[in-house]
Chains A and B, each alone.
Chain A
């Protein structure tokens, strides 16, 4: 039992890790093709079939570029920052359940690397550590614009973390559990949380756009004002690491959103357990489709909305989203008391 358990976990780690990296590659291509489609262009379509090998070409190009370390940079901090950004971004996928339990011989293997009893907090903690990468990159570059980008980002991420955390409380209150396993199981029985916590879902959606530094909240790298923000001075593979962790964060945020509000791997109107391992396959596909939708939403929003001004961003975070999230907690509490 024990060796089987360890083996299964290792296989799951490998699968989740490589799936995340593959999705990052697919996202870089999708971003360019979808934006091209929206702007009535073609986008990269020459490498491979219909441009499908473009991410590989991009990756090779990143590796072969000259690796520059600016004279004014603070070397240890400058070198550490991309790693600090990348590692938490890849670690968060560990607690997301991506399918119904799989039957292997006589064992049931849950399709989730670890169901921690502090599941949601684990993701919040890791995203809050990811802030350091951006802030330190901004400071360590020893240059004006990265520093401004880093400062903006730390203020932005801390502000929106509050609204994000508070919007989760409503979900935790109605579910009565803090692990992803419990939250998804609850939605299996009583329907998706989006119908019960629509306000929380909306606040959460806005907050994850801010947390992943995507338009309309990409203050940290606002090209017109800050050249490239915190990664202006980075080149070659270190830049690629920032780039990849941005996409990794988007994938985690989408998976988080799906697990909390859209039933996780739940296939609507289908009893996965009755179908055996076919149901497991279906549930994994459903999970991927839902995550894919939110990833598409990211791209869609990016090429549709203009950027917020910095004071507007702060006002939205502190004066709109935070009170709304508090009101949501209060209303959920009232509902629970009324029901009991």
Chain B
């Protein structure tokens, strides 16, 4: 049952991601990216990481992608009809090379990881719940956590300053 669900969501995820990249209408791409995030969240749920999964929907699909949509709508970007600059053959060569290099990298990385553990029996009790995650985040990883928060704040203030010269 789990593997059927996994293959269903994984293929939907790959399909919608391809659609995002290959489609020429930005609005469709944004909508399909939201759909891809929903499928990714479903994969997290299958791994029993409920909190990460729901954050995926809440933060990425719910908040960040709405802003993407907002920007695309406000700029009124139409479908991309610009002719590609390169000749067709060059693009095929380039795409093929990138594909080969990417697959090689992927193979190297997965070989280094060893066997994948995916059965639910391996998982500790309370895995993926909020309390253990929060305990780790606020004790062991407190410094990286606070640093990330500080970085985000700096980025936010910087953006406001750049966008609005006279505050």
Which residues from chain A sit less than 8 Å from chain B, CB to CB?
74, 76-77, 80, 116-118, 121-122, 124-125, 128-129, 131-132, 135-136, 138-139, 147, 150-151, 154-155, 158, 161, 178
Contacts and interface: CB of A to CB of B under 8 A. Distances in A.
Judged by DSSP, the binding face of A is helix
B35 to A, nearest CB: 10
A241 to B, nearest CB: 18
B74 A151 contact: yes
Contacts of B137: none
B62 interface: yes
Contact of B73 (A117, A122, A150, A178): A150
A125 to B, nearest CB: 4
Given A80-B31, A139-B73, 10 more contacts: A74-B27, A76-B28, A117-B129, A118-B54, A121-B54, A129-B61, A131-B66, A136-B69, A147-B73, A150-B73
B58 A125 contact: yes
Given A125-B58, A151-B70, A118 B130 contact: yes
Interface string B44-73: 000000110011011001110011011001
A131 B63 CA distance: 9
Contact of B31 (A136, A138, A158): A136
18 contacts: A77-B27, A80-B31, A118-B51, A121-B58, A125-B54, A125-B57, A125-B58, A125-B61, A128-B66, A129-B34, A129-B38, A129-B61, A139-B27, A139-B73, A154-B70, A155-B70, A161-B62, A161-B63
Interface of B: 27-28, 31, 34, 38, 50-51, 54-55, 57-58, 61-63, 66-67, 69-70, 73-74, 129-130
Contacts of A138: 73
Nearest to A172: B130
Contacts of A135: 66, 69-70, 73
Contacts of B63: 128, 158, 161
A151 B70 CA distance: 7
A129 B31 contact: no
Nearest to B38: A129
Nearest to A135: B69
Most B-side CB within 10 Å, residue of A80, A128, A150, A178: A128
A129 B73 contact: no
Nearest to A127: B62
A-B complex: 5 closest residue pairs judged by Cβ atoms: A128-B62, A125-B58, A125-B57, A121-B54, A118-B54
A129 B59 CA distance: 10
B66 A158 contact: yes
A80 B31 CA distance: 11
B57 A129 contact: yes
A122 B70 contact: no
A257 B34 CA distance: 28
Given A117-B50, A118-B130, A128 B70 contact: no
A165 to B, nearest CB: 9
B50 A125 contact: no
